[in-house]
Amino acid sequence: MLPAPPPATLRLNIDRDALAANWRALDTLSRPGRAGAAVKANCYGLGVDACVPALRDAGAADFFVAHWSEVAAVAAHVPAASIAVLHGPINRAEAEYARAVGARPVINSLTEAARWLEAGGGPCDVMVDTGINRLGLAAAELADPLIARLEVDTLLSHLACADEDRAMNEAQLRDFAALRQQLAARRASLANSAGIALGPRYAADLTRPGLALYGGVPRHELAGAIRQVAFPQAAVILTRQLKAGQSVGYNATFRATQDTPTAIVSLGYADGFLRCWAGASLAYHGSALPILGRVSMDMVVLDASAAPDLREGDWIDVPYTLPEASAATGLSQYELLTILGRRFHAEQSGCARDAASAKASA
Ligand SMILES: *Cc1c(COP(=O)(O)O)cnc(C)c1O
């Protein structure tokens, strides 16, 4: 047995209070409906174990994942019956797994409807396509007798361009409203995060925010309501003095014109900090430290002139205000979240964590 490793040099601080506040804000904006929570892709990279309990405790009662492989981790925190699997049952094994664990498959085609009924059926959701042409039944297929045999909890559709002002939003809303009349579903659900910002007409009975829960701002209307949730930090692993004329990193793309104190930081593209961050700055107690040269797999080199006392082990803040980080890098806010690598150690702040640690020490 190896001893436990020393603390990680990358940490991802999750503000659970901000996450809970974001869910409550989106839930309020979803009235007269309620907000669920998209928790696919490990809660957009931020960690199911950190995020799902906070969402549940805030009041979320409906959870959406994409893959069947994502169900178990979420079901460790919430009832399996509150989880819907967007990718649906694409074979018998998935249909049987759904029946065994009690999560709801989202039926995306007539073939899947038949498969679900053959496996024994039970509560399911139905996705109808109103224009994104990805998953979902065609509108005309909703009238198929197979669909009438399903036990439909929620009728879903998905907006293609809710983050933009496009006529397609109204067209999808109108078509979805008509389709709702054709199917005896307990609930209807159309809006993602951006769809919620389009106003209460889009809220239906249930919304499915993902991005905005985790601090993303897909439309300006949400800017005041959404707080940053993810705060990545990386440790300094070495400081050194760069001499005038010396270069930094692969391909020597930066050359110092004067003696410059530098800090080598434990953060690279293998951690999701891609080369498009070159030219940006990280921060130490609010002082900007520009990145010098290329981003390496495991390292970036910073100009530490603004923090002359910087030492090995000091924590550097990665600027992860998502709208700004997206503008700086050209990556989408979704990509910035889901790309964060496996070397980050999750740290949680907020009441939920404090309550847990108070209990542990009591
Ligand atoms: C991912 C996803 C969502 C969440 O979308 P956001 O834009 O992150 O709010 C909602 N519905 C479906 C079908 C999705 O695939």
23, 73: one domain: yes
Work out which ligand 1 atom sits closest to the CA atom of 163: 7
Is residue 257 domain-shared with residue 111, that is, in the same domain?
A: no
User: 194, 218, 242: which is the final residue of a domain?
Assistant: 218
199 φψ region: left (φ > 0), alpha (ψ -120 to 50), beta (else): left
What are 216's two structure tokens?
A: 């993303």
> In which band, very low, low, confident or very high, does the pLDDT at 354 lie, cut at 50, 70 and 90?
very low
Average pLDDT estimate for 48-67: 98
- For residues 37 and 159, membership in a common domain is answered with yes
Same domain, 132 and 264: no
What's this model's pTM, rounded to 2 decimal places? 0.95
Which domain-ending residue is among 304, 319, 334?
A: 319
Q: In terms of domains, do 38 and 125 share one?
A: yes
> Using an 8 Å Cβ cutoff, are 190 and 204 in contact?
yes
Q: Which of 164, 193, 218 is the last residue of a domain?
A: 218
Closest residue by CA, ligand 1 atom 4? 210
pLDDT at residue 151, rounded to an integer = 98
Whole-angstrom distance between the N-terminal and C-terminal Cα of the chain?
31
Residues with CB under 6 A from ligand 1: 38, 40, 86, 158, 192-194, 208-211
Mean pLDDT across the stretch 93-102?
98
φ, ψ for residue 105, nearest 5 deg: -80, 145
| Over residues 33-61, mean pLDDT | 98
What is the structure's pLDDT at 360? 40
Say if 24 falls within a structural domain. Answer: yes
The answer to whether the beta carbons of residues 325 and 26 sit under 8 Å apart is no
357, part of any domain: no
Q: Which atom of ligand 1 is nearest to the CA of 38?
A: 4
**Is there a single domain that holds both residue 161 and residue 116?**
yes
pLDDT in tens, 306-334: 998 999 999 999 999 999 999 999 999 99
Written as six digits, the tokens of 53 are 């309990």
At residue 311, the pLDDT reads 97
Q: What is the pLDDT of residue 171?
A: 98
Backbone angles phi and psi of 241, in degrees to 5: -95, 120
pLDDT reported for residue 349? 80
Task: Indicate whether 129 belongs to any domain.
Answer: yes
What rounded mean pLDDT belongs to the chain?
A: 95
Angstrom CA distances, 62 to 59, 65, 106, 241, stand at 9, 10, 13, 54
Give the distance (Å) from ligand 1 centre to CA of residue 86. 10
Residue 353 lies in a domain: no
Share of the chain above pLDDT 70, in %: 96
**Within a domain: residue 355?**
no
Tokens for 55, please give them.
């969402």
Predicted local confidence at residue 359, as pLDDT: 42
Please check whether residue 159 lies inside any domain of the structure: yes
Same domain as 258, residue 148: no
Express each pLDDT in 251-288 by its tens digit: 999 999 999 999 999 999 999 999 999 999 999 999 99
Phi-psi category of residue 297: left, alpha or beta, with phi > 0 → left and psi -120 to 50 → alpha: alpha
Atom of ligand 1 nearest to the CA of 156: 13
In the residue annotation, 359 being an active-site residue is answered as no
Q: Are residues 141 and 254 in the same domain?
A: no
Cα→Cα distances 323→143, 194, 220, Å? 42, 14, 10
- pLDDT number for residue 348: 84
Same domain (yes/no): 132, 192:
yes
Strands 151-156 and 83-85: unpaired
Question: Residues 6 or more apart from 128 whose CB is under 8 A from it?
Answer: 136, 137, 138, 139, 142, 155, 156, 157, 176, 179
Residue 255: which CATH number? Answer: 2.40.37.10
Rounded Cα distance between 320 and 28, Å, is: 26
Residue 352 pLDDT more than 90?
no
Q: How many CB atoms lie within 10 A of CB 111?
A: 13
pLDDT tens figures, 186-225: 999 999 999 999 999 999 999 999 999 999 999 999 999 9
Query: Does one domain contain both 25 and 149?
Result: yes
Nearest CA to ligand 1 atom 12: 158
Confidence of residue 155 (pLDDT cuts 50, 70, 90): very high
Q: Do 76 and 203 belong to one domain?
A: yes
Mean pLDDT along residues 111-119: 98
Cα-to-centroid distance, 191 and ligand 1 (Å): 8
User: Based on the structure, what is the number of domains in the chain?
Assistant: 2
Which atom number of ligand 1 is nearest to the Cα of residue 127?
A: 13
What is the residue range of 170's domain?
17-218
Average pLDDT score over residue span 28-39? 97
**Rounded distance between C-alpha atoms, residue 204 and residue 176, angstroms:** 10
Of 40, 44, 202, 334, the active-site residue reads: 40
Cα 104 from Cα 94, distance rounded (Å):
11
128: pLDDT confidence band, cut at 50, 70 and 90?
very high
243 among known catalytic residues? no
Long-range contacts of 284-292 (CB under 8 A, 24+ apart): 284/310, 284/314, 284/316, 284/317, 289/263, 289/316, 292/242, 292/248, 292/249, 292/254, 292/260, 292/262
> Within a domain: residue 338?
no
Q: Is residue 246 part of a domain?
A: yes
Which one of 202, 214, 243, 250 is the catalytic residue?
Answer: 250
Residues 55 and 106 occupy one common structural domain? yes
Q: Which of 271, 262, 188, 300 is nearest to 12 (CA)?
A: 271
Q: What mean pLDDT comes out for the span 344-359? A: 63
CATH of the domain at 140: 3.20.20.10
